[in-house]
Each structure stands twice: as C-alpha cells, then as structure tokens.
Amino acid sequence: MDQLANRKAPGISEDKASTKRPVSPVLNVLVNGPFKEALEQRVKWTDLTESFFLSFWEFAYNGNYTNPAQEDDEEEKADPADEELSHWGKCWAHHVRHSSKLSGPNKRDAPGLNELWQDFVDKHAPISRPSDVGNIGTDTLLHHAQVCVFADRYCMDKLMDTSLDKLFIALEATIPWGNYWGPVMELVFLAPGKFVPMKLRQIVADYILSQAELFKNEEMFQDFMCNDRGPISELLSPIFETEEGP
C-alpha cells in the first residue's frame, strides 16, 4: 500500500505516507479506494488487540515481527509430591513425542523417534529458523495463530508464512502437559473458526495427531472431540484409528 497506519489506540489507525503497497493489496484498496476509510484516512479494527496490531505494524516496516514480550510471573511454591508428579508427567509427555510407536515383528527396525512427530517436523519446519526462537510464553501460540488469521483476511501471504513459521517454533518448544494444556487448547479451540485458513488448521491438526496419545487422555480435548469440530473434524479423524489394528 502507499500508506502505513499510525497507531493512535488499539484497533484504530491513521494513515501516513509510507510503503504499504507490497504488504496487502486488500488494505491498499481499503485506504486508497472509494471507501470511507480512505476519505477519513483512518481504519478501525474492532477485533484486533494492541499486541496483534503491533506485530502487523512491525512486520509492515521490517518484514518481520518479534515474539510478544512475556511478563515475569512469580512462581508459587509447589508441594514436593505435586512437583514429582509433574516431573514424571512431563517425562511421559516427552516419551510420547519422541519414542517410536512401532511394535510387532518390525519393532527391532523401529527408528528412535516417533515417526508421526518426525513427519510433523518435516512437513512444517521453516527452511530457515526465525532468530527469536526464545521468549515463548503461555500466550505465544495463540498470538501467532491470530496474526496468521489476520494476515489471511487481508491477503498478506508473507506475513501469513512468517506467523506459521513462528507458530511451528513455538509448538516445537511446547510439550502439551501441565500448565501448557491451557494455551495448547486455546489454539485447538481457535482452529475450527469460520475464518481460519486451512494452513493453520492443518498445522494444529498435525501437531495433535503427532502426540495423539497425550491428547486422547486430556479431558478438555475429549470434550472438544465430543462437540461439533467443524472444518477440522476430517483432519482429526485419524486420531480415532490409532488404537485400531490393521
């Protein structure tokens, strides 16, 4: 676009001369065409929070955006017994992700890595890893997913690809266990949304299927599967076949 939005408040922007044309042809028409936004030189996004807008703003200027800043939360002292259970639970989650699931006559030929997880990595890992691989918190998964939805809405293919690459890095660093079940399930709940692009649904579905044993034992996910899952239903159908024999 010919102009870039100058932030006044979350979800509200005023246009200033800049280089928006390569960012989004849809926004270019919105701010330069025969629309109210062009006349007022102002675009209002009521469903866009400040953090997502800042990621778009940063991307429009730099061609990239950084992970949202994480606040340092005070850690509460846990009961030693609970800590031990959490430790063994996390070990089990790592085992599910990384251990081979093959059994039977071909067991001795099984690789040392869960083939489904390796398939997930091979399919979705970016060619070059983003530099900000750290700084991953409880809201990072949902942030990148919502940036992806926003980018798809306005046909910003490069921003969409960037957000999906960052989402993969965050998913790779996130074991669905303990306190991370909440953020992971927020991402799962978002996936069937009406305006969610198929690429985003696919990476979420593949992440679930690569660790199906963990998800099938999680109550929130069981409730999700019992309800109408919409467009993601077919993508998740193999999860019902994991316990069936040939």
CA distance 57 to 43: 13
Would you say residue 241 has pLDDT above 80?
no
Q: Which residues contact 11 (CB under 8 A, 6 or more apart)?
A: 44, 45, 46, 47, 48, 49, 50, 53
pLDDT for residue 127: 87
126-182 pLDDT per residue, tens: 988 766 666 788 899 999 999 999 999 888 899 999 999 999 999 999 989 888 899
pLDDT for residue 133: 63
pLDDT for residue 69: 77
Phi-psi category of residue 194: left, alpha or beta, with phi > 0 → left and psi -120 to 50 → alpha: alpha
Reduced to 3 states (helix: H, G, I; strand: E, B; else coil), residue 162 is helix
State the virtual CA torsion across 74, 77, 81, 87 in degrees, nearest 10. Answer: 30
Between CA 220 and CA 228, with CA 225 as vertex, the angle to 5 degrees is 120
Bridge partners for 2 per DSSP: none
Q: Which of 197-211, 215-229, 232-246 has the lowest mean pLDDT?
A: 232-246
Helices (H), ranges, 20-139? 25-32, 36-40, 50-62, 80-98, 115-124
Q: Which of 98-102, 104-108, 211-215 has the lowest mean pLDDT?
A: 104-108
Mean pLDDT of the chain: 74
Higher pLDDT, residue 238 or 79: 238
* Model confidence pTM above 0.85: no
Most confident among 4-13, 17-26, 43-52 (mean pLDDT): 43-52
Would you say residue 79 has pLDDT above 90?
no
Reduced to 3 states (helix: H, G, I; strand: E, B; else coil), residue 75 is coil
Q: Where are the domains of the chain?
A: 3-48, 112-240
Higher pLDDT, residue 113 or 123: 123
